[in-house]
Amino acid sequence: MKIVSYNLNGIRAAIKKGLLEWITTENPDIICIQETKAQPEDVDLADFEEAGYSGHWYSAVKKGYSGVLTLTKTEPERVETGMGIQLYDNEGRVIRTDFPGFTLLNCYFPSGTSGDARQAVKMEFLDDFYEWIRELKDTKSQLIIAGDYNIAHTPNDIHDPIRNKNTSGFKPEERAWMDKWFASGFTDPFRKLHPEKTEYSWWSYRAAARARNKGWRIDYISVSDNLASSIKGLRHANEAIHSDHCPVVLEVG
């Protein structure tokens, strides 16, 4: 099975840049899209449906903001939206799909780059998400959690760790949360396969950052430890340029 996680920073713009053609070539079984910035009625998914995908949306109340969409070739046994916490659910941040043998979460973690207030929301989200997942694991032990975590975990995951040591997305408390997350029963497939390798999933639009490969690895597909032996590959599809992020492609079997 091939699972893609991709923050599109606007699905309508990405479609115009050839998203469907890339998906058709890559041919994943499931695509987890973050930051759709759209409502279901805003986007015609007919071409995606023709390619074999059904779409499950969770959009923000505020139009043109946030939102997640899971496209899948196999119909889920169950679809659930949200975490049961209104602040995050109004922003369309989490959609859950259950399949035989595993549960998939498509997540868009908050960013704290706009100021202290949103950084505080981000930290609250991290704590609430951690506890919510801990409870979910009591009934759904085989989990794959894909999305834009908005955190670079280690110095190998960011182009300038010294200068950015106190920047939102690489703050010590955020990195400590990632330490706790991966110690709580989850595996980072990229680090399992490539302990020291440096690759990125997001680049600023400024200063030709992508062309110079000055990026951050903030998009992850975490796999519960009981599924870690099924990991076959994890790559960052840098050739796909529909967004300021690139797709993360996980293969399991």
User: Are 11 and 43 contacting, i.e. CB atoms less than 8 angstroms apart?
Assistant: yes
Catalytic residue among 44, 148, 179, 219: 148
For position 9, what pLDDT does the model report?
98
Pairing of strands 2-7, 30-34: parallel
The C-alpha atoms of residue 136 and residue 130 are separated, in whole angstroms, by 10
Residues 6+ apart with CB under 8 A from 159: 200, 213, 214, 215, 216
Alpha helices by DSSP H, the chain: 11-16, 19-26, 46-50, 86-89, 116-136, 172-183, 189-193
For position 136, what pLDDT does the model report?
98
Phi/psi at 97 (nearest 5 deg)? -130, 130
For position 14, what pLDDT does the model report?
98
**pLDDT tens over the chain, length 253 residues:** 999 999 999 999 999 999 999 999 999 999 999 999 999 999 999 999 999 999 999 999 999 999 999 999 999 999 999 999 999 999 999 999 999 999 999 999 999 999 999 999 999 999 999 999 999 999 999 999 999 999 999 999 999 999 999 999 999 999 999 999 999 999 999 999 999 999 999 999 999 999 999 999 999 999 999 999 999 999 999 999 999 999 999 999 9
Look-up of token digits 């499950």? 56
Longest dimension (CA), the chain: 48
Residues 6+ apart with CB under 8 A from 75: 54
Phi/psi at 131 (nearest 5 deg)? -70, -40
For position 114, what pLDDT does the model report?
93
Fold of 2-252: Deoxyribonuclease I; Chain A (3.60.10)
What does the block give as tokens for 41? 């009625």
Active site residue 148: yes
For position 28, what pLDDT does the model report?
98
The C-alpha atoms of residue 161 and residue 192 are separated, in whole angstroms, by 21
Residues 6+ apart with CB under 8 A from 121: 87, 110, 112
For position 152, what pLDDT does the model report?
98
Supply the DSSP symbol for 53: -
The domain limits of the chain are: 2-252
For position 215, what pLDDT does the model report?
98
For position 223, what pLDDT does the model report?
98
